[in-house]
Amino acid sequence: MNFFEQQQKARSRTTLLVFLYTAAVIVLAAVIFTAIIAFTQSVELAAVGTGILVLIVFFASLFKTSQLSAGGGRLVAESLGGRLIAPSSSNPIERRLYNIVEEVALAAGVPVPAVYLMDSEHSINAFAAGFSPNEAVIGVNRGTVELLTRDELQGVIAHEFSHIINGDMRMNLRLIGILFGIQILALIGYWAMRLAWYMPRSSSRSGKNSGAGIALMFLLGGLALMILGYVGIFFSAIIKATISRQREFLADASAVQFTRNPNGIAGALKKIGCPKIGSGISSPGAAEASHMFFGDVYQMFSLGGLLATHPPLTKRIKTIDPTFDGKFPQVIYPVNTVEEPRRSTKPAIPIPPIAGTILTPAMLSAAEDTLKQVPQKISEDAGNPLTAQAVFFAVLLDGDDATRQKQLDAIPTDFVRQETQRHFENVQTLPPELKIPLVQRVMSALRHLSQQQYRQFTAVVDTLIAADNKMDLFEYTIKAMLLRDLDIYFGMAKHLAVRYSRLSAVQEQAAQVLSYLAYSGHENMPEVQSAYNTAARQLGLTTPLLPADGISPIQFDRALRILAETSPELKHVIFDSFICCVKADGKIVPKEAELMRAIAAMLAIPMPQQF
């Protein structure tokens, strides 16, 4: 799938969501107004009551959305009973799950998501949550990792990565926040009725049944609010179904195109249909997050599919496997599914092209091969939060002895300093193409630090980079990855906002980056000018090439930070012009590839290692 196109479509669905939410609130207000009129015969009281309840709905949506903005996907995973898996886990099924997530993330060119295992859920299900690929989490039921083969689990994970890359996650979180307000009346009614049950039935002074009267008022008021609230729940279900249902077909098809193995995801869906397995979730928070899951969370009266958040299971399977006869397999729980990694050689069944793809089987194979090249000891230490810091620091150590000693002295902990020094020689011998994947693996382990520990870690990183009084492209890329991944994860940076939708607003910044690229990858002025002119024409940029001494690294960084806040559609054409610039002479030199990786990291664009 095309990352930029899907991100733009996700933004357009926000407009649809706002429209549906407004319509639902209007209808709910009309129902409330009519109900109050029917009981009180007072227009004034009906207007005041309706206004109060609508304000409650609005502020409840605002509160939930704000809460999710602060906690992101991590909040959702923890509310569903998820347990964060350590990259260094020695549990075989946890290791297999994490390895698959890591492979797919590397192939897609996105940070490795935090992986949560829902130990108490023995059905087959999974979800992806977060506001951007840089701070996504993946949650998986224990039944999913225990009942599925590696190919089937890989199909499920590829399905979830489709949601990560195409912007569905942000929309899904917005749905939870906005729909919470519509459903709040039912929750208030439920708690009012529970409170009525525990109220005293008489007054302690007079002995009269005034307490019973108050309890009855709470009971009847709660019942009325629950009835009105279920009107909101009905509309919430319609909105969730409207927004999310067709996205499941897209994610299924993307998973097949990516893994080139229809039997993987089809096998997982067939096992969901097996008696006593299913995809149900027992967590109390499952209802509000039902649209985020791989399979149906619960069965309900769906009015002919009107309220269903997912397409019918049989239809999903037949779309992938037209030979499916409707008979689901028998699965005995638990089963031994921890087998050696293998690549499927079966061709994908024909599926109509979606919109192009940024995930291919070749990328997945290359990612698997890349991870295997990392020495086992480094790989193991990269998965432990404490030793992972040492691996990260070792990547940043300078080749000059004096500078390196200055860097080592800046590491405050003796153990981490010794481990950093021990890893230095092994890390330095790694080929350049392995260092970014290694950093990505380390960053995944660093999610297990506390916020205070992470602040201390980044302070050391800044000191190590500044030790030689300069910042090279590799160091810049790492800083950009930290900014767009862990800084957001730990609440130290905000999610990227869209501030610019027109080229005219950012043409100066686009010209600065294009000029920097043109000078970096071409040897003489005619080639520099030609590369810039070709890219500028493609972008529709009229700004001339800037002089070589007029673009400092600081200006380059500032320009990228502004371009990071462009709309997906505009970011697409700008990034394409950057690629056009580096390819203008028919080749991409290492420095150009490194620059593009730095740009992609700063703009939060998935960038496969094979660029």
pLDDT digits (tens, 9 = 90+) for 483-521: 888 888 888 887 778 899 999 999 999 999 999 999 887
pLDDT at 290 over 70: yes
Which residues sit opposite 129 in a β-bridge?
A: 137
- For the ranges 257-266, 349-358, 372-381, 523-532, the lowest mean pLDDT is seen at 349-358
Rounded Cα–Cα distance for residues 379 and 391 (Å): 9
φ, ψ dihedrals at 257, nearest 5°: -65, -35
pLDDT score recorded for residue 597: 83
Strands 83-84 and 126-129: unpaired
For residue 312, say if its preceding peptide bond is cis, omega within 30 degrees of 0.
no
Rounded Cα–Cα distance for residues 179 and 65 (Å): 10
pLDDT at 292 over 50: yes
Higher pLDDT, 364 or 536: 536
Calculate what percentage of the chain has a pLDDT beyond 70: 85
Helix axes 414-428, 401-409, angle to 10 degrees: 150
Going from the C-alpha of 208 to that of each of 193, 200, 216, 294, 423, the distances in angstroms are 22, 11, 14, 56, 79
pLDDT score recorded for residue 408: 93
DSSP conformation letters of 447-471: TTS-HHHHHHHHHHHHHHHHTTT--
DSSP conformation letters of 263-301: HHHHHHHHHHTSTTT-----SGGGTTTGGGBSS-SS---
Task: Count the neighbouring beta carbons within 10 Å of the beta carbon of residue 70.
Answer: 10
φ, ψ dihedrals at 311, nearest 5°: -65, 160
CA of residue 129 relative to chain centroid, distance: 5
- Reduced to 3 states (helix: H, G, I; strand: E, B; else coil), residue 152 is helix
Mean pLDDT score of the chain: 81
Higher pLDDT, 386 or 464: 464
Give residues with Cβ within 8 angstroms of 282, minimum separation 6: 120, 121
Higher pLDDT, 81 or 135: 81
Q: Which residue has the tokens 């481990």?
A: 419
Task: Provide mean pLDDT across the span 277-286.
Answer: 86
pLDDT score recorded for residue 539: 92
Joined tokens for residue 364: 């997945």
425 in catalytic set: no
Q: Are 483 and 493 in contact (CB under 8 A)?
A: yes
pTM, entire model: 0.73
Rounded Cα–Cα distance for residues 139 and 250 (Å): 20
pLDDT at 357 over 90: no
**Torsion sign across C-alpha atoms 501, 493, 13, 354:** positive
pLDDT at 204 over 70: no
Task: Provide mean pLDDT across the span 355-382.
Answer: 68
Read off the pLDDT band of 591 (50, 70, 90): confident
Rounded Cα–Cα distance for residues 237 and 290 (Å): 10
pLDDT at 241 over 80: no
Give residues with Cβ within 8 angstroms of 586, minimum separation 6: none
pLDDT score recorded for residue 82: 93
pLDDT at 29 over 90: no
Q: Which residue has the tokens 């087959």?
A: 124
Rounded Cα–Cα distance for residues 26 and 30 (Å): 6
Read off the pLDDT band of 524 (50, 70, 90): confident
Rounded Cα–Cα distance for residues 238 and 231 (Å): 11
pLDDT score recorded for residue 508: 93
Rounded Cα–Cα distance for residues 274 and 332 (Å): 10
Q: Which of 121, 160, 248, 475 is catalytic?
A: 160
Higher pLDDT, 213 or 95: 95
Which of 14-28, 187-201, 528-542 ranks highest by mean pLDDT?
528-542
Which of 196-210, 338-352, 522-536, 581-595 ranks highest by mean pLDDT?
522-536
Q: Which residue has the tokens 């700004």?
A: 543
